[in-house]
Each structure stands twice: as structure tokens, then as C-alpha cells.
């Protein structure tokens, strides 16, 4: 450990026997088992655990012994990851406590849109655009972009050119996010793609010869790059370039899901978080590594068809707890290479992002219902006509004819004719005759009818 790096305090590693602990007996005592589970639920470090008053006897007066037991338990249940420290030690993870949330991720974020009723394509595009803007701003602000959210958002929405370094960072991040959302997520990760993403992120914020180019081990002053997350605190000194060059191909293989037969299954969300950590650990470029790490997480989730991540801004939550973010790295690096600290932090922030977005959608859906009711009254549409507009709002490529309308809404031919005629007159449907058949197609006005 470099003596200039901020170091967390933790009691010296001892054996359980040094404390007179019977490991098997302790793990079969209900109160102790419960306390261990509570400590793991929040994956507490010693700096947090030592202040808790719920540690049971016989450990209440000897919390260091409880910490030793907790560490042994964690280590015994962990699996080794391919992520290696510059000293050659592999990081460990233990994700059993996240099984329920990972199940929710599988169920809601790749399928039914977080339990919320289906949204129109227009509204989905609106929410995706909103999130990409929020993520681009927050991720850049995390790395020092000194521009208010309101000014940055207006700049991106209006397409205004950036006028300073901070605005350029945000525009760059926005461009990278758009490219991933549009087509980069379909590509395997390669060294060239990694460098291209870095070049986009650092356009006009780094000299051209540094954009997409691996950093050197030492700068012009002969010093290694130091990570200083808050005032005068060195959290990390980056590894040698030779180590980075050796590890990047392994990171790329991991990102592309290349594995050996003996490798453990790791859930895609956990893998995405591990990629995030790995880029931060290697710090392969002179600047922009944090933004690149968070963008790679986004790329990986979309690549594995977790589409709901298009709507969630992880960086916006991280920005509100940036010191905890740095500490998640530090705990992982300094406490027996336990990467679970970083995984736990990110899952907590994703849970918050998911809940906030669900709440936001529900508010907007309710607002939309009010707007729909107002428009229904304005146009004097009946419930059948509103239901048809709802259908076309989901299926803008759809069509309907008179017979289908009668069967869908259980009305006779004269009523169906009047309903469809009024929708044509108000500009919501386009009537087309094809041979003997007449079809009705939605116009762009349908989407505007339901816009938030």
C-alpha cells in the first residue's frame, strides 16, 4: 500500500481462535446469525460496524471479534473474479444477498417495464431522451463539469454549441450515450471501440494525441496519476501502463462474455457493475475514465437487452453521494479485495433510480389521464374512439377497417361509420381505399393526443 494513499482503519487480521471463538458454534447461534445477516444486508465495513449497538453477546463488548467472524464468513462464501489488482491478487464477490433484486431486474427491466402499463413509442422515446440528457449531465458533473443542470439541459435540448470546457464534457458524454443507444450496444467490445468511446468523451477536452490513447505510467513531472476524489485526499495511485496493457484484453474478453468452462456464472447486472469497477481500477486513459466506466455499464446492460436501463440515470444518484462512491472503491481495494462493497453501493443506487423513475412515470401517467380527459371533452370523443386512439398510439403502423371496428367495440355498422368518420374529420385517422376494402390509418396527431 502506498503510504501517501488514504487508508481505512481496520483491526489487524487474526484467527478466530485468537479470540476464543468456536466458528461452528457461532454460526449456529440464532442471534449471531441474525446479526451477521444484518451486517451483510448493508455490507458494512468496520468503520461503520463499530458504531452499531445491535451486535449481540458475546460480541457486544468485543466488536473486533465480531468483525473477524464476519470477515471469515464473507471470505468463505465469496467467489473469485477475473479482476486482478496490480499486485496480482484477484478480487472476490459475494452476491447471494442480491438474489431478490436480480430477480426483479430480470422480470421488470428486460420485460414488462417495471410493472408499469405499456407506454407508447412516442412516450418511450421521450423518456429515453430525458434519461440520456440527465445521465450525460450527472456523469460529467461527477468529474468536475461546473455547469448547472438547467443550463446544460437547455443547451442539449436546443442543440446549442458548448461555450466552455464543462459544457463540452456534457455534450461529449451525450454524444457517446446516443451512439451506444443507437447502435454501439450491438457491437462486441474491442480495443478500437473502447478508444473510440474515449475519443468521443474527450473531444476538445484533451489534446488530440491523448484522445483514445493509453496514458503513460508517469506524467511530465515523473509522477503517477493520482485519483483525488475530495480535497487533498489521494484515494488511489494508478498502475503502470504495462499492467494496463496486459489487463485490457482480459477486460474486453470479460465484457464479451468469453469464459472458460470452470468460470462461475455471474448475473449480467453484476458483470456490468464489475466492468464499471475494472475500468476505474485500470484507469487506462489520462482523463475521462469515470465517464467511460459508467458508459460501459450502460453499454453492457443494453447489450444484454435490459432495455429499462435506457430510462434510469445511475450517475444522477451517484452524484448525490459522491463520497460514498469513492469509499466503495476504497473499501473494495483495501478490505481483502472485497468487490462486494462496490457492487452493494451500485445496487443501492440502482434501486433508488428504479423507484424514482417508477414514481415519475406514475405521476406522468396520471397527468396524461387528466390531459386525455380534457382532450376527450374538447373533441367530444366517446370511449370507443379513445380506445382506438390508445391502440394506434401503441401501434402506429397499424390499421383498421369497418368490420374490425364493429367486432372490437360491439357496434352496428352505422355507429361504426359515424365513429370513424369523426376521427377522420378531426385529423386523427386517414381513410384509404384499397380495392374493395377501405382502411383507416393513424396520423401523427394520435401521438400528440397522448404526449406528456
Q: How confident is the model at residue 128 (pLDDT cuts 50, 70, 90)?
A: confident
C-alpha distance across the termini of the chain, in Å = 54
- Please check whether residue 231 is in contact with residue 206, taking contact to mean a CB–CB distance below 8 angstroms: no
The per-residue pLDDT for range 266-287, each reduced to its tens digit, is 999 999 999 999 999 999 999 9
Residues 6+ apart with CB under 8 A from 130: none
Q: Which residues contact 216 (CB under 8 A, 6 or more apart)?
A: 241
**112 or 31, which is more confident:** 31
Identify which has the larger pLDDT, 119 or 320. Answer: 320
- pLDDT digit string, tens, across residues 163-172: 999 999 999 9
- DSSP secondary structure string for all residues of 42-96: TT--HHHHTT-S-PPTTSTT-HHHHHHHHHHHHHHH-EEEEEE-TTSPEEEE--G
Whether residue 386 contacts residue 376, with contact meaning beta carbons closer than 8 Å, is answered with: yes
pLDDT at position 119, please?
Answer: 62
Give the single-character DSSP code of 4.
T
Name all domains of the chain by residue range, CATH numbers in brackets: 16-77 (no CATH), 80-362 (1.10.3290.10), 381-449 (1.10.10.10)
Give the least confident one: 132-146, 203-217, 369-383.
Answer: 369-383
Share of the chain above pLDDT 70, in %: 95
User: Going edge to edge, which strands form the sheet with 400-401?
Assistant: 400-401, 437-442, 429-434
**Once rounded to an integer, what is the mean pLDDT over residues 177-193?**
95
Residue 372: the pLDDT is: 74
pLDDT digits (tens, 9 = 90+) for 37-88: 999 999 999 999 999 999 998 899 889 999 999 999 999 999 999 999 999 9
CA 352 from centroid of its chain's CA atoms? 11
DSSP letters along 195-261, please?
HHHHHHHTTTTS-GGGTT-PPPSS-TTS---EE--BTTB--EEPPPHHHHHHHHHHHHHHHTT---T
pLDDT of residue 1: 46
Segment 394-418, tens digit of pLDDT: 777 788 999 888 888 888 999 999 9
pLDDT over threshold 90, residue 341: yes
Q: Among 110-114, 156-160, 230-234, which stretch is predicted with the lowest mean pLDDT? A: 110-114
- Mean local confidence (pLDDT), 129-142: 91
Mean pLDDT of the chain: 90
pLDDT at 307: 82
Nearest-angstrom CA–CA distance, 414 and 416: 5
pLDDT at position 361 is: 79
Q: Are residues 274 and 339 in contact, defined by beta-carbon separation less than 8 angstroms? A: yes
> Residue 224's closest CA among 281, 286, 167?
286
- Report the pLDDT value the prediction gives residue 398, as an integer from 0 to 100: 84
Average pLDDT score over residue span 333-358 = 94
Closest CA to 75 of 2, 33, 13: 13
pLDDT in tens, 149-162: 989 988 888 788 99
Contact status, residue 166 vs residue 147, Cβ threshold 8 Å = yes
Amino acid at each position: 500500500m502506498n503510504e501517501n494513499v488514504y487508508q481505512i482503519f481496520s483491526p489487524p487480521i487474526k484467527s478466530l481462535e485468537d479470540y476464543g471463538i468456536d466458528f461452528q458454534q457461532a454460526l449456529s447461534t440464532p442471534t449471531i446469525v441474525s446479526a451477521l445477516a444484518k451486517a451483510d444486508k448493508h455490507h458494512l465495513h468496520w468503520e461503520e460496524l463499530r458504531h452499531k449497538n445491535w451486535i449481540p453477546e458475546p460480541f457486544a463488548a468485543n466488536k473486533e471479534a465480531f468483525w473477524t467472524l464476519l470477515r471469515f464468513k464473507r471470505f468463505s462464501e465469496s467467489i473469485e473474479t477475473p479482476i486482478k489488482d496490480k499486485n496480482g491478487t484477484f478480487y472476490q464477490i459475494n452476491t447471494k444477498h442480491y438474489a431478490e433484486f436480480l430477480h426483479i431486474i430480470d422480470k421488470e427491466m428486460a420485460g414488462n417495464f417495471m410493472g408499469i402499463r405499456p407506454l407508447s413509442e412516442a412516450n418511450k422515446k421521450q423518456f429515453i431522451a430525458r434519461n440520456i440528457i440527465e445521465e450525460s449531465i450527472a456523469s460529467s458533473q461527477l468529474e468536475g463539469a461546473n455547469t448547472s443542470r438547467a443550463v446544460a439541459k437547455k443547451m442539449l435540448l436546443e442543440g446549442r454549441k458548448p461555450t466552455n470546457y464543462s459544457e463540452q464534457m456534457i455534450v461529449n458524454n451525450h454524444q457517446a450515450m446516443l451512439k451506444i443507444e443507437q447502435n454501439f450496444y450491438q457491437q462486441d467490445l474491442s480495443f478500437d471501440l473502447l478508444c473510440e468511446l474515449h475519443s468521443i468523451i474527450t473531444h476538445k477536452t484533451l489534446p488530440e494525441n491523448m484522445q483514445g490513447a493509453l496514458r503513460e505510467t508517469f506524467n511530465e513531472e515523473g509522477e503517477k496519476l493520482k485519483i483525488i476524489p475530495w480535497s487533498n485526499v489521494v484515494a488511489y495511485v494508478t498502475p503502470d501502463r504495462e499492467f494496463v496493457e496486459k489487463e485490457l484484453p482480459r477486460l474486453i474478453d470479460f465484457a464479451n462474455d468469453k469464459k472458460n468452462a470452470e468460470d462461475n456464472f455471474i448475473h449480467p447486472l453484476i458483470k456490468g457493475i464489475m466492468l464499471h469497477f475494472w475500468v476505474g481500477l485500470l484507469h487506462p486513459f489520462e482523463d475521462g475514465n469515470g465517464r467511460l466506466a459508467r458508459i460501459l455499464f450502460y453499454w453492457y446492460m443494453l447489450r444484454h437487452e435490459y432495455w429499462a436501463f435506457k430510462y434510469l440515470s445511475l450517475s444522477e444518484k451517484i452524484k448525490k453521494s459522491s463520497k460514498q462512491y469513492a469509499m466503495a472503491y476504497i473499501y473494495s481495494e483495501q478490505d481483502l479485495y472485497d468487490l462486494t462493497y462496490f457492487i452493494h453501493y451500485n445496487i443501492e443506487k440502482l434501486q433508488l433510480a428504479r423507484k424514482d423513475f417508477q414514481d415519475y412515470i406514475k405521476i406522468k401517467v396520471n397527468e396524461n389521464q387528466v390531459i386525455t380527459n380534457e382532450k376527450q371533452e374538447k373533441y367530444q370523443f366517446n370511449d370507443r374512439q379513445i380506445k382506438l386512439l390508445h391502440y394506434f398510439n401503441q401501434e402506429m403502423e397499424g390499421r383498421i377497417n369497418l368490420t374490425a371496428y364493429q367486432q372490437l367495440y360491439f357496434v352496428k355498422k352505422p355507429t361504426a361509420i359515424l365513429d370513424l368518420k369523426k376521427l377522420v374529420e378531426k385529423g386523427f385517422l386517414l381513410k384509404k381505399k384499397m380495392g374493395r376494402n377501405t382502411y383507416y390509418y393513424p396520423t401523427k396527431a394520435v401521438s400528440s393526443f397522448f404526449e406528456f
